[in-house]
Amino acid sequence: MPSALVKQLEDGRKTAPETALHHTKNFAANGTPKYINRLVLETSPYLLQHCYNPVDWYPFGPEALARAKEENKLIFLSVGYTTCHWCHVMSRESFDDPTVAKYLNENFVSIKVDREERPDIDRVYMSVVQMLTGNGGWPMTVILTPDLKPLFGGTYFPPTDRGRRQSFMSILQEVSNTWTTDPDGARKKAGEIAQKLSSRARTGLPSNIPGQEATAHSADYFVQRHDAQFGGFGRAPKFPRPSTLFFLVRHAKRQPRKELKDSIVRTLDAMATGGMHDHAGGGFHRYAVDPHWRIPHFEKMLYDNAQLAWLYLEASVAFGMPQYAELAHRTYRYLLRDCQAPDGGFMSGTDADSLPMDGKGHPEEGLFFTWTPSELTTVLGADITPEFVKTFRVTSRGNFEGGRSILYLDGPWESDPRKSLAKAREFDAQLEQLRVSRQVRPPPETDGKRVTAWNGLVISALARGSWLANKPEYLRVAQKTADWLLAHVWVANGSKGKRLYRTYHRNRTGSLAVLSDYAFLIQALLDLFEADGNTRWLTTARLLQEEQDIRFLNESWGGYFHIPEEAGLLVRRTHDYDGAEPSGNSVTAWNLLRLANFIPESNYENAMIRLFRAFGHRLRRAGAGIPYMADALSAYHGGLRQLVIVAPNKAPAAGRPLLETLHTEYVPDVIHVSVSEGNHQHDVAQQLEWVKGKPAIKGKATAYLCRNNTCKRPTSKPATLRKQLRQP
């Protein structure tokens, strides 16, 4: 190892964060790490978790790739993320094992990748794993030739053979032996896999824009897939998938159907009453492993909670269900209390695992969040505990591992969820006691990196929450977060001008942004513009959209690649699935639709039409895979309306009662902006032509509701505006 690198590692040893939670045996009795590798110099918390492995890890980059080619060694690529339970298990079992590490170090160039920092690498090789095995997941294990062509792929592998599942060591030996004894055959096989991957990555031909029947077909698909007993769509494990629920809530507004509303409400109720909802601390765990939504995988992710806060608030307005608004605000409180980084922005998530109460031994899943009756009695007292354990289904035997219990309520298939949630509210003081008391337990690790795309989702949730629920404090945090983000991740990059970065951690930017970072941040800035009328958000959104077009647009097709051309990966893929997060293309469809209606005299509408045509076949045949884009398509066909509220110059807050109509009227087809007469209205009108020439009539705040340059009669009365909003 070069002496300069040794010095860097020694310096890194002094400043590396504590990662002993998952690697206790890699530390000497005095707390000094026995091993250290290049990952200690990285910004990713996931990579830093592995900086004390005996494996000679490299981050993905030129140094590792050059060594593989120079020494003609296979690349062992391991992909995971900070809060991944099975990633930790495989690390303890295999990557901490000196024997396994020795074999890897002698026969492979080992590269560790954080899928959240480098989703471009993750998606390319996850496609390989799914193609080879029929499924995927993390940790992801891929063995590559020195030119990055895949030779083998899988997920978690145990340290010893378990039934049909080979041990990790035997797989390494088998692939390494093949490379040594038949390198030509191995290269041929890898080339065939790469060719097959490349053919699957090709985009289709554009088509005509699908009609409304395509979105109706997608809604029908979800109704048919709805689990009428327990809620959700499909079998366990149960994932929230907010994009689906956003689409269905909005589709139910445009085309009301009882069975559609029932499927949404049952799903939202099941998620709210089940154990996936953290009743003590607020927010939601990643997913439920059972069909009842009761047994969660305990990691908590920023992207889930940002979307679910906004979703429940939107559903509360759409269906007139105040219990959803209360649930939303509990989730907002969790985000603001537990997810904000001290120096700005929002952190990515928390682990599923935590150490036992005495702080010793291996981390276990769910310890931080689960209870025994005796623990509850200690915190709540003997008088309240019997009724509490009855309400939250805590038992002496436990409903989870180790005789511990997850808090959950009667599900919607057992009782009226309104009554269940109302009963839970009777114990708000006790739930807060539990939240405070569990803070003395060893906490799950926090993934402190700030991801641009996910911070964009939080900004959107806060900005929309500020106008849907009259919460100015949400708006202030959204503004502050956007300012921080633009100052820290949209920065100068030498002679290349400003570049957007995906991550920020340890006072440094990480990898360059991918499509979703641009799309989610643009969406956030448009939401902020609607919330406060500050034109700098709109101006910045337009600049970022221009940059997104330059770096990601496939000119011949009309859609957007997930990565810029300079990424230099095996294939350049298009992401066209709305999973835990909506895809960048789906969010871009909504962004272009809104920009085209904010600024009709522009090229945004043409870009939007090209995007819908690019995904035309997908929207017709499998629109349920991209419901967020299907929602944008439906809004395009229905047309957006423009609402401008003009307040007198000396009374800018006078428009608030008019804006508050949006608290009770669900209007997903309306874009709005509030202005004050004078300089503010003039500034906004420089970009939004339809704001010009609209006075505050008779010195009163006045609302103008328009579509296609035709406006309703101006009104200063909230009741009149409410009637106008209700009209088709």
Instruction: Give residue 651's pLDDT.
Output: 83
The closest alpha carbon to 461, from 283, 306, 242, 346, belongs to: 306
Query: Rounded mean pLDDT of 227-253?
Result: 95
Integer CA distances (angstroms), 267 to 64, 230, 258, 264, 314, in order: 46, 7, 14, 5, 15
The rounded percent of the chain whose pLDDT value lies above 70 is 95
Residue 268 sits at φ, ψ, to 5 deg, of -65, -40
Question: Average pLDDT for residues 137-144, to the nearest whole number?
Answer: 94
Backbone angles phi, psi at 646, to 5 degrees: -110, 120
Q: Identify the band that residue 11 occupies on the pLDDT scale cut at 50, 70 and 90.
A: low
Over residues 707-724, the mean pLDDT reads 94
**Per-residue confidence band for 205, with pLDDT thresholds at 50, 70 and 90:** confident
Considering the domain boundaries, does residue 503 fall inside one? no
Q: Which pTM was predicted?
A: 0.92
**Considering only CA atoms, which of 525, 563, 561 is closest in space to residue 541?**
525
| Distance of alpha carbon 705 from alpha carbon 709, whole angstroms | 10
Kindly state whether residues 191 and 234 are assigned to the same domain.
Answer: no
The answer to whether residues 130 and 57 belong to one domain is: yes
Q: Where are the alpha helices (DSSP H) in 32-151?
A: 45-49, 62-71, 85-90, 98-107, 119-133
Choosing from 428, 443, 458, the residue where a domain stops is 443
Same domain, yes or no: 18 and 54: yes
Please check whether residue 313 is in contact with residue 335, taking contact to mean a CB–CB distance below 8 angstroms.
no
Domain limit, last residue, from 397, 417, 443 = 443
Q: Do 167 and 75 belong together in one domain?
A: yes
Specify the range with the lowest mean pLDDT, choosing from 52-61, 245-254, 488-497, 543-552: 488-497
Say if residue 195 is in the same domain as residue 248: no
Radius of gyration (C-alpha) of the chain in whole angstroms: 27
Q: What number is the average pLDDT over the span 630-658?
A: 93
Strand pairing partners for 707?
A: 710
Rounded to the nearest 10 degrees, how much is the dihedral formed by the CA atoms of 44, 541, 612, 604? Answer: -160
- DSSP-derived secondary structure for 654-686: GGHHHHGGGGTS--TTEEEEEEETTHHHHHHHT
Q: Domain check: are 315 and 437 in the same one?
A: yes
User: How sure is the predictor about 2, in pLDDT bands with cuts at 50, 70 and 90?
Assistant: very low
**DSSP 8-class letter at 693:** T
pLDDT at residue 634 in the model: 96
Cα–Cα distance measured from residue 159 to residue 588, given in angstroms and rounded to the nearest whole number: 44
363 and 441 Cβ atoms separated by less than 8 Å: no
The answer to the question of residue 197 being in a domain is yes
pLDDT reported for residue 572: 73
Per-residue confidence (pLDDT) for residue 8, from 0 to 100: 54
Q: Is residue 78 part of a domain?
A: yes
Residue 21 pLDDT greater than 50, yes or no: no
- 678 to 652, 656, 695, 696: CA distances (angstroms): 11, 18, 10, 10
Is residue 564 assigned to a domain?
Answer: no
| CA-wise closest residue to 489 among 462, 515, 455, 466 | 455
And the tokens for 510?
Answer: 């990480």
CB within 8 A of 364, min separation 6: which ones? 353, 354, 355, 356, 401, 402
- pLDDT value for 30: 66
Q: Of residues 206 and 277, which shows the higher confidence score? A: 277
> Can you say whether the dihedral through the CA atoms of 647, 649, 652, 657 is positive or negative?
negative
Q: Quickly list DSSP for 403-452.
A: G-B------TTTS-HHHHHHHHHTTHHHHHHHHHHGGGSPPPPEE-PEEH
Q: What does DSSP assign to residue 279?
A: T
Q: The domain that contains 654 carries what CATH number? A: 3.40.30
287, 373: one domain: yes
Residue 150 lies in a domain: yes
- What is the C-alpha to C-alpha distance for residues 660 and 217, in angstroms, rounded to an integer? 34
Mean pLDDT to the nearest integer, 209-222: 95
Parent domain of 418: 226-338+353-443
pLDDT, residue 134, reads 87
Distance CA 93, CA 87 (A): 10
Alpha-carbon distance 423 to 604, whole Å?
49
CATH classification at residue 24? 3.40.30.10
Looking at residue 490, its pLDDT comes to 95
Residues 246 and 171 in one domain: no
Q: Quick one: how far is CA 391 from the chain centroid?
A: 32
Q: Which residue has the tokens 């908590």?
A: 300
- Please indicate, yes or no, if residue 357 is contained in any of the structural domains: yes
Whether 184 and 264 share a structural domain:
no
301 and 436 part of one domain: yes
- Structure tokens given for 126: 């996850």
Tally of domains within the chain = 3
Residue 377 CA to residue 727 CA, distance in Å, equals: 55
Euclidean distance between CA atoms 82 and 368, whole angstroms: 17
Tokens of 98: 């000196």
Q: Which residue has the tokens 């997941």?
A: 137
pLDDT at position 616, please?
95
What one-character DSSP code corresponds to residue 498? Answer: E
For residue range 656-684, list pLDDT tens digits in order: 999 999 888 999 999 999 999 999 999 99
Is 7 or 175 the better-scoring residue by pLDDT? Answer: 175
Query: pLDDT tens digits, residue range 300-345?
Result: 999 999 999 999 999 999 999 999 999 999 999 999 999 999 999 9
Yes or no: say if 469 and 330 are a contact pair by the CB < 8 Å rule. no
What's the pLDDT tens digit per position in 69-123? Answer: 999 999 999 999 988 888 989 999 999 999 999 999 999 999 999 999 998 899 8
How would residue 18 be classed by pLDDT, with cut points 50, 70 and 90? very low
> Could you tell me the CA-to-CA distances from 637 to 104, 271, 318, 626 in Å, in that order?
56, 32, 20, 17
pLDDT at 203: 66
91 with 235, same domain: the answer is no
Q: How far apart are CA 225 and CA 241, in angstroms?
A: 14
Q: What is the pLDDT of residues 554-603, one digit of tens each?
A: 998 999 999 887 777 777 778 789 999 999 999 999 999 999 999 988 89
Pairing of strands 74-80, 108-114: parallel
Are 182 and 233 contained in the same domain?
Answer: no
From the number of C-beta atoms within 10 Å of its C-beta (0-12, 13-18, 19+), residue 18 rates as exposed
**Backbone φ and ψ of 715, nearest 5°:** -145, 150
Is 637 buried (19+), middle (13-18) or exposed (0-12) by CB count in 10 A?
A: middle
Q: Please report the pLDDT score of residue 496 as a whole number.
A: 67
Report whether pLDDT(202) > 80. Answer: no
* pLDDT of res. 9: 54
CA distance 247 to 677: 36
Asked whether residue 452 is domain-assigned, the answer is no
* 228/10: higher pLDDT: 228
Residue 282 has pLDDT above 70, yes or no: yes
- pLDDT over 90 percentage in the chain: 80
pLDDT value at residue 571: 75
34 close to 493: Cβ distance less than 8 angstroms: no
Higher-pLDDT residue of 6 and 454 is: 454
Averaged pLDDT score across all residues of the chain:
92
Pairwise CA distance, residues 466 & 528, whole Å? 10
Residue 642 dihedral angles phi and psi, to the nearest 5°: -115, 125
Q: Are 630 and 718 spatial neighbours (Cβ–Cβ below 8 Å)?
A: no
> Which of 31-40, 57-66, 233-242 shows the lowest per-residue confidence on average (mean pLDDT)?
31-40
**Residue 206's pLDDT is what?**
85
Instruction: Pick the last residue of a domain from 382, 408, 443.
Output: 443
Q: Is 31 part of a structural domain of the chain?
A: yes
pLDDT over 50 at 15, yes or no:
no
